Structure 1
Amino acid sequence: MSKTINRLYQHNTIIYKVILFLITAVSIVYFFPKGGQFKYDFNKGKPWQYDILLAPFDFAIQKTTAEIDLDKKSIRDNARLYFQDDTRVLDDVKDRFLTKMSFEQVSDSITNEEITSSISLGTTIIDEIYKIGFVDNVSDNVVSNKNILISLKKENQVEDILFSNFLTSNEVSDIIISRLGGRPLNYGGTLVFDALSEVVVPNISYDKAFTDRIIEDAIKNISLTIGKVSKGERIISKGDIVEGKKLAILESLKSESESNVWTESNYTWIVFGYTVLVSLALLMLLLFLRKYRIEIFENNNKVTFIFFNVFLMVLIQTLVIKYNVEYLYVVPLSILPIVLKAFFDARLGLFAHVLTILLLGFIVPNSFEFIYLQIIAGIVTILTVSELHKRANLFISIGQITLIYMITYLAFSIIKEGNALQIKWEYLLMFGANGLLSFLSLFFIYVYEKTFGLVSDVTLLELSNTNSKLLRELNEKAPGTFQHSMQVANLAEAAANEIGANSMLVRTGALYHDIGKMLNPMYFIENQSTGVNPHNDLSPVDSATIIIDHVIKGIELAKKNKLPDRIIDFIRTHHGTSLVYYFYMQEKQRYPEEEVHIEKFQYQGPIPFSRETAILMMCDAAEAASKSLKTPTAQSIDDLINKIVEKQKADNQFINSDITFREIEKIKKVIKTKLMNIYHLRVEYPD
């Protein structure tokens, strides 16, 4: 049992990667839209590339979205309008009219007989108006043609009638005046006119709710098909142009086939197929890391970060496809290569981006167009995005990415449609939104730095500020070491720019590489301003121990101040496994007859494992040694740098750093030039 536990512990990183791999693959397959894949690819206006296609089963020819929208428009334009006849209005108007006229009986200006006659005439007019029907003014906004036939609902009956048969407000007023004998009206006629004008209201009104319900019912009953194709019937022959009815039949066959494929009986097999394809893509990513980025592969935190980002991009894109595929190109997939390049390198960013796009190619419409467009955008992202700490660079890069999106889409549209008249210009707005959302990469970088403990150029810029707490403390406690670190940082930055390494990273690492010296500053010659050397009172072994310990103490101090691991790597490796040569030779001189244990004078390593850490080792040794030159000339500097770097090469300090001999020669040349500029002689000024 104990052997099994020990074996599991020894292989815990592999077990973790297997679990991470399985969780990511299962999650991606789970979120994939559940739909089958049509086995033929075709495009409108292009020739059919396959053999004669016969219908594999009976299916209906589906209407296109445009045809269905046209049917809906036709239903709405030709829909019968429904009006309601309110029978209660007649009795209510009469009652109000009688009440109004009863107040006039108390007046001495008109007799009771005249009042009775006026009431009788008014009642007759009311009956005449409501026998025809009085329509409200709102109907004028609904009915464009007065001669159309409308449906009138009266209690439980519906009858068709011309809208022009109803009375309008002006027509009602004319009827009242004509029945009262015309103008000018006498006193009794005026009383009746005023009363009727006040109490008569429309009894015919537009029933919008009922009309809309009838229209919606008609829309629901629209036929979604325009024909049928029988099994064995020829659909299209090789070389035929995919357009018109053939295009509609192919689209219908594709829809029906995809629906039939994703059935309960086929579910397991389709999920299995998806799982295999997704697993292969993720396996390629792991193998890439294992072969070309072993330091990332061995770091579970970084592997988790990469897999999480791939899954996140797939998840966002699948959710958009599920809820509204029209916004397919709004998703800023370029965030993935931007983020991965910021934390790792361009090659890994592009490789992960391409695999992610291939995964999404299973589920997006027009997969070839999508894959081509997104891969081109990813390549442009990798080529243009750099130095994220410079905000202008990101603006320019995202502008270029958005422009490439638009140009590529326009090219595809022209190829498919044959001209530029059918281009969907709203897609350009989507690409613009895509570009704006790409700026979220800065937010993601910040969150990932805090969550996964990674380092980007933005963080490096903050750390390289010499007013930061740790560097300010170094300047106060060990000013000589601080000045040495500044000089090394300048040398290393120039060398990194020369060979295309990460100059921001190596500069920041150089600033912090000797922070361990601030704990015992006087034991390092650059801080001995008083001329007193405490090593004179120590044995060579003790002196070497103090010198060697500045690496360990620097690492401890860096961790205490929560410096990123990528910066701590520079502290670990800047001396590699080299010797504290001065005290080693002193020990040999003290005991010439005895064997000196070299490990007591040797740094514990590790040796540099990147181009940046190798650059720091060369620049650190060169800058420190140059201070020993009494008369620094071009020849003496040249000989010194050659001697130092060749000694480091002979000691195999660079074998793990992925740096070439040509790059080393370029670095040597930069160091020599910079040191010559530092130690140049000035003309002697006259007294």
Structure 2
Amino acid sequence: MVFSRWGQTIREYLDDARFRENNRIRLIIYLALGVVMFAILVGSILPPRYHFTIGQTSPVTILSPITTVDTAATQAAKQAAEQKVPKQYEQSTQVETDAVNQVDTFFATAAQVVSNKSMPSSQKLDTLSSAAPKGVSQPTLQALLTESPAQISALQKDADRIVNDLLGAPFYQESMQQAGLLVDRQLLNNFDLDQASRLIVQNVVVSVLKPNMVYQADATERARQQAAATVPDVMIHQGDLIVSKYGIITASVLSRLQDVGVYAQHPNYGVAVGFAAFIALSIGLLAAYVERRSPRRRLDNLMLIILGLVFVLMSILIVLTKWVANTAGTTSVAYVLPISLGAMLITVMMDSSLAVVASFYFSFLLGASLSFNYDFVFYGFVASLVGAYSVAKVTSRGTFMRAGFFVSLMNVGAVITLHLLQTNHNEDFHSFSLHIGLAALNGIIAAILAMGVLPFFETAFGLLTPIRLLELSNPNNPLLRQVLMEAPGTYHHSLIVGNLAEAAAEIVGADPLLCRVGAYYHDVGKTKRPAFFVENQMTKENPHDKIAPSLSHLIITSHVSDGLEMQKKAGLPKPIQDICATHHGTTILWYFFNKAKELDKNGTVKVDDFRYPGPKPKTRECAILMICDAVEAAVRSMARPTPNRVEGVIRKIIRDRLQDGQLDECDLTLQDLDVMIAAFMKTLKGVYHSRIEYPDIDKLRKEVAK
């Protein structure tokens, strides 16, 4: 009960003209729409950001949003190329010279020591030991002292020869590990020495050997840099798989996430600011278009809220599509997004021209959320335009399904077109066929959602759509059945007024369906006291003859307020209620005014006391119903309705309404009123046409019997 009262209060506030025409509220609606759309869509526009750690399992499949360099793989390839470059060395002759000098000095000292007979043996050993290269063993020194000077000289020559052979060629640090083996090979192959001499020469030569290949660090680095420079960059292409769902985050995966810009703790604020500007420009241009529309098509604040809700609905669907695409790891799911839903709803609830403008926004938002992909902009625009034009004239809910099939057909055509426009044709047949199937399903889903969402807007906002009007025109509607059963004359009168109003609305560009259905309900208040209205009086007895004119005035005029009360209780939309409230405007009940004036002896009767309470019509539909109601009643009361007399009555009624100011607040022009007369005449010919006078059947039978 509480919720019902709250709902009624909200509905009354939304229907209040002070709310609908308030410019400050209008500005707030535009600002709120921009803020809400930014809040909804910014997450799908910003590149995704992930903060994984090595060893963590990825909850989603991540594809590269851009084409960029794989820094880790490129670095690894460069390092591999550098490692293949050998170290750069330069052979030094000084090493050979120094080694030979050491050998010569050592053997010369040995020859002097051996030749000196006066030197004690211990001193000889010490002297020789001090001159020996580092690494010469004591046994070698002692063995050398036992040799003669001539033998020492021969050993010197052999040692010099071996040193020259080994150090005359490249001798690396690695060769030092095999120095003894190399010297032994020289001794065995090229010299015929005894065991003692061989050991002396081997020990001395090995002691003086040093690498003669000097490492060139700068040259090596230059060679490696040149090798690395020739290695091409390893690329990550847009759409490449970075990590699959439930995949393990490794160091290489983490590096690739950083390379494509999706690994960060903070969002890209530059993109956020740019998107905010994008939304601001979009809402600004939309507002400029809406506000510059002609007064007849201007949206009040309630309709502006409904337009904003459609934009919000489409934004939510786009975000959901982006989320599913990220989860599935493919953008193919976007082809099933019912992007034409928004255009369909706007066309049915407002008009197709506004839906065309909205189609631009929906398609651009779709493309922006999917990495600014032009293909989806084109696809969304085609679907939205076709959806808008397909439901321009709704005659039943089946219109939506026909529109859905047409949207599906055009979607398939758009997918084929985009496929043919590709230059590389990398898309395989499976993906292409999948896109075709999803595009074909798209229109059907949009039609089903449109039929499901539309009743929400109709109920929540009292919105009057063609579907709602068609439902209200059903004769089985409780209010219409009540009129038929309790006031059949009024029911017949309402049908004829509906025909007149529909014909007039079509010719002046008003809403024919609203006029016809509004006519059906404009006199429901007469069911409260049907006998007091002439069309329901079955006999010549008129109850007004027995009551005062002032009371008759109250009874007659109360059918407007009674009708409004019944319509509000039945939940009829406000445009129908407005037709009921204004179908008499503030016109005067001249019949009862004249009657009261005849009975008034004091001259106190005022004409304004016999006016309807109003208000005056504010829309073309309300004004058309006012004129049609008066025209039907006047023509029906004519004894002999000829075309000229009928046209004269119609023109008089219109002239009276103009002179009385009843049409001052609506936008019907004099040209509209003039062309309406022709529509009235054409319709009335089929209702009040002249008929032949049939003879008296009983009289003829008697004559035949005679």
1:386–1:426 distance in 2 versus 1, CA, 3 Å: same
Matching residue of 2:688: 679
SS in 2 for 1:678: coil
Displacement of 1:625 in angstroms is 0.7
Displacement of 1:635 in angstroms is 0.8
SS in 1 for 2:691: coil
1:578–1:262 distance in 2 versus 1, CA, 3 Å: farther
Displacement of 1:626 in angstroms is 0.5
For residues 402-444 of structure 1, the C-alpha deviation after alignment (integer angstroms, 9 at most, x for no partner) is: 2222223333332333889978233221111101101221111
SS in 2 for 1:432: helix
1:598–1:340 distance in 2 versus 1, CA, 3 Å: farther
1:433–1:267 distance in 2 versus 1, CA, 3 Å: same
Q: Distance in 1 between the 2:355 and 2:407 partners?
A: 15
Matching residue of 1:354: 360
Question: 1:262–1:270: 8 Å Cα contact kept in structure 2?
Answer: no
SS in 2 for 1:467: coil
Q: How does 1:125-524 map to 2 (within 5 A)?
A: 227-228=232-233, 267-286=268-287, 288-290=289-291, 292=293, 301-324=302-325, 325-365=331-371, 367-417=373-423, 424-440=432-448, 441-524=450-533
Q: Once structures 1 and 2 are overlaid, which stretch shifts more, 475-484 or 659-668?
A: 659-668
TM-score (norm 2): 0.60
Question: 2:401–2:444: 8 Å Cα contact kept in structure 1?
Answer: no
Name the larger-Rg structure: 2
1:271–1:318 distance in 2 versus 1, CA, 3 Å: same
Matching residue of 2:674: 665
- Name structure 2 gaps, 5 residues minimum: 1-16, 48-66, 73-230, 242-255, 326-330, 701-706
1:20–1:536 distance in 2 versus 1, CA, 3 Å: same
Displacement of 1:274 in angstroms is 2.1
Q: Once structures 1 and 2 are overlaid, which stretch shifts more, 278-287 or 412-421?
A: 412-421
Q: How does 1:522-533 map to 2 (within 5 A)?
A: 522-533=531-542
Displacement of 1:400 in angstroms is 2.2
Matching residue of 2:57: none
SS in 1 for 2:69: strand
1:293–1:348 distance in 2 versus 1, CA, 3 Å: farther
Question: 1:385–1:393: 8 Å Cα contact kept in structure 2?
Answer: yes
SS in 2 for 1:603: coil
Q: Distance in 2 between the 1:444 and 1:517 partners?
A: 35
Question: 2:375–2:418: 8 Å Cα contact kept in structure 1?
Answer: yes
For residues 606-636 of structure 1, the C-alpha deviation after alignment (integer angstroms, 9 at most, x for no partner) is: 3323332232222111101102211111111
1:403–1:655 distance in 2 versus 1, CA, 3 Å: farther
- Which residue type is aligned with residue 399 of structure 1? F
Residue of structure 2 aligned with 1:543, choices 529, 538, 552:
552
For residues 20-78 of structure 1, the C-alpha deviation after alignment (integer angstroms, 9 at most, x for no partner) is: 555543343233345569xxxxxxxxxxxxxxxxxxxx961699xxxxxxxxxxxxxxx
For residues 232-290 of structure 1, the C-alpha deviation after alignment (integer angstroms, 9 at most, x for no partner) is: xxxxxxxxxxxxx9x969999xx999955997787444323322322343344455555
Identity %: 28
1:472–1:646 distance in 2 versus 1, CA, 3 Å: same
How many residue pairs were aligned?
Answer: 479
1:676–1:31 distance in 2 versus 1, CA, 3 Å: closer
Question: 1:496–1:506: 8 Å Cα contact kept in structure 2?
Answer: yes
Q: Distance in 2 between the 1:665 and 1:296 partners?
A: 22
SS in 2 for 1:566: helix
Q: Distance in 2 between the 1:499 and 1:251 partners?
A: 60
Question: 2:68–2:237: 8 Å Cα contact kept in structure 1?
Answer: no
1:397–1:665 distance in 2 versus 1, CA, 3 Å: farther
Question: 1:498–1:666: 8 Å Cα contact kept in structure 2?
Answer: yes
Q: Distance in 2 between the 1:618 and 1:262 partners?
A: 70
Q: Distance in 1 between the 2:629 and 2:588 partners?
A: 14
Q: Distance in 2 between the 1:29 and 1:561 partners?
A: 39
Matching residue of 1:578: 587
1:593–1:391 distance in 2 versus 1, CA, 3 Å: same
Tell me whether 1:623 sits opposite 2:632 in the alignment: yes
1:609–1:61 distance in 2 versus 1, CA, 3 Å: farther
1:464–1:394 distance in 2 versus 1, CA, 3 Å: same
SS in 1 for 2:581: helix
- Which residue type is aligned with residue 368 of structure 2? F
Question: 1:457–1:504: 8 Å Cα contact kept in structure 2?
Answer: yes
Matching residue of 1:637: 646
The two structures, once aligned, show a CA RMSD in angstroms of: 3.9
Q: Distance in 1 between the 2:38 and 2:520 partners?
A: 47
1:270–1:538 distance in 2 versus 1, CA, 3 Å: same
Q: Distance in 2 between the 1:498 and 1:381 partners?
A: 26
Displacement of 1:472 in angstroms is 1.7
Displacement of 1:333 in angstroms is 1.6
1:34–1:479 distance in 2 versus 1, CA, 3 Å: closer
Displacement of 1:304 in angstroms is 3.2
TM-score (norm 1): 0.61
Q: Distance in 1 between the 2:481 and 2:511 partners?
A: 24
- Name structure 1 gaps, 5 residues minimum: 1-8, 38-57, 64-225, 230-244
SS in 2 for 1:228: coil
Q: Distance in 1 between the 2:603 and 2:348 partners?
A: 53
Q: Distance in 1 between the 2:572 and 2:607 partners?
A: 32
Displacement of 1:559 in angstroms is 1.0
Question: 1:523–1:533: 8 Å Cα contact kept in structure 2?
Answer: yes
Q: Distance in 1 between the 2:18 and 2:678 partners?
A: 45
Q: Distance in 2 between the 1:609 and 1:563 partners?
A: 19
Question: 2:363–2:378: 8 Å Cα contact kept in structure 1?
Answer: no
Displacement of 1:603 in angstroms is 2.5
1:413–1:632 distance in 2 versus 1, CA, 3 Å: same
